[in-house]
Amino acid sequence: MNRYLIAPSILTADFGRLKDQIQEADTAGPLIWHLDVMDGHFVPPLSFGTEIIKTVAKATDNLIEVHAMVAHPTEHFDSFTEAGASRLIFHYEAAMEAPNLGGPGLGETVLRARETGSEVGIAINPGTRIDEIEELLPEIQQVTVMLIRPGWGGQQMNPELLDKVKQLREISTRLNLLLNIEVDGGIKPNNAKLCIDAGANILVAGSAIFNQDSTPQQNLAEMKKSSPNLE
Ligand code: DX5
Ligand code: ZN
C-alpha cells in the first residue's frame, strides 16, 4: 500500500531560520522533504545545492527527496545522496536531452540513480505524455507529475494535467507496481483532494506550507483536514 503524504518544498521557507522551519513542520507528523534544486539551465532560476540538503538532513529524520531541475542530472547524483537525499527525482526531458550535451541517455540515467542506493523518481513536465515513460515504470519507485511549468513556486495548477495521474494510477494498478505518484505545483487545501481522487499519493506543497499567513504546522494541519487519507 502506498502511503499518502505531504512533501513540503522549502523554496518559500525562511532560509534565515531554515533549521527551525524544518523542525516546526516535522512536529506535524510524517512527511517527505522535497528539495527543489535548480541549475539556471534546465529551468531559468537558480535555487540551492548540496549545502542546503545537508542542513535539512541534519535537522530531520524524515525522508529527503531531491527534485533535480538540472540539465546534467547524473553529474550530481552522488553529491545529492552523500548530502542526505534518499530519493533522486530527475526530469525525463533533461535525460532525453543529455546525450546531445555529452551525457548518458534515459535508461543509463535510471541505472546511475539506482547505483547510488537511492530510490528513483522521474519528473515529467506538463507537455510530456505518460506513454513516453511507460516502459520505465517497473524500474522506478516514483513519478512526479508537474502540474505547472517547473522553475517557480506559487503558481496555479492546471487541473487538466490530473488526467495523467489517472492514467498512471491505472497502469500501476494493472501491472501491480508499488509506484508513488507525486503531484507538484499549485497544491493547496482546496485542491488536495482532487489530486488524491485522481490517484496521487504524495502531494508537494511549497507556498501552501511556507507563507506569511500561518506557521508550517498550522498549514500542514489545514492540508490534512482537507483530505482524510493524508497521514
Ligand atoms: C517548482 C517546484 C515546486 C514548487 C512548489 O518548480 O518544483 O516543488 O516549489 O511550490 P508551490 O506549492 O508553491 O507551487
Ligand atoms: Zn518540486
| pLDDT tens readout for residues 140-166 | 999 999 999 999 999 999 999 999 999
Q: Is the pLDDT of residue 1 over 80?
A: no
Determine if ligand 1 sits within 6 Å of the CB of residue 216. no
For 68, the grid coordinates are 533535480
Asked whether 88 and 118 are in contact (CB, 8 A), the reply is yes
Determine if ligand 1 sits within 6 Å of the CB of residue 36. yes
Lay out the sheet containing 119-124: strands in order across.
5-8, 202-205, 180-184, 142-146, 119-124, 87-91, 64-69, 33-38
Determine if ligand 1 sits within 6 Å of the CB of residue 155. yes
Mutate to test the pocket of ligand 1, among 32, 33, 36 (most ligand atoms within 8 A of CB): 36
> What are the backbone angles phi and psi of residue 102, rounded to the nearest 5°?
85, 10
Q: Where are the extended beta strands (E) located within 21-113?
A: 33-38, 64-69, 87-91
If we measure between CA atoms, which residue out of 87, 38, 77, 33 comes closest to residue 55? Answer: 33
Q: Which helix (H) or strand (E) holds 217?
A: helix 216-226
What's the confidence (pLDDT) of residue 62?
98
Asked whether 220 and 22 are in contact (CB, 8 A), the reply is no
Q: Hey, what long-range contacts does 98-105 have (CB within 8 A, 24 or more apart)?
A: 98/71, 98/72, 98/73, 98/74, 101/71, 101/72, 103/72, 103/74, 103/75, 104/74
Mean pLDDT across the chain, nearest whole number? 97
Q: Is the pLDDT of residue 31 over 80?
A: yes
What is the mean pLDDT of the segment spanning 91-97? 98
Q: Give the relative orientation of helices 18-26 and 216-226 as an angle to the nearest 10 degrees.
A: 40
Whole-number Å distance, alpha carbon 152 to ligand 1 midpoint, is 6
Q: Give catalytic status of residue 184 as yes or no.
A: yes
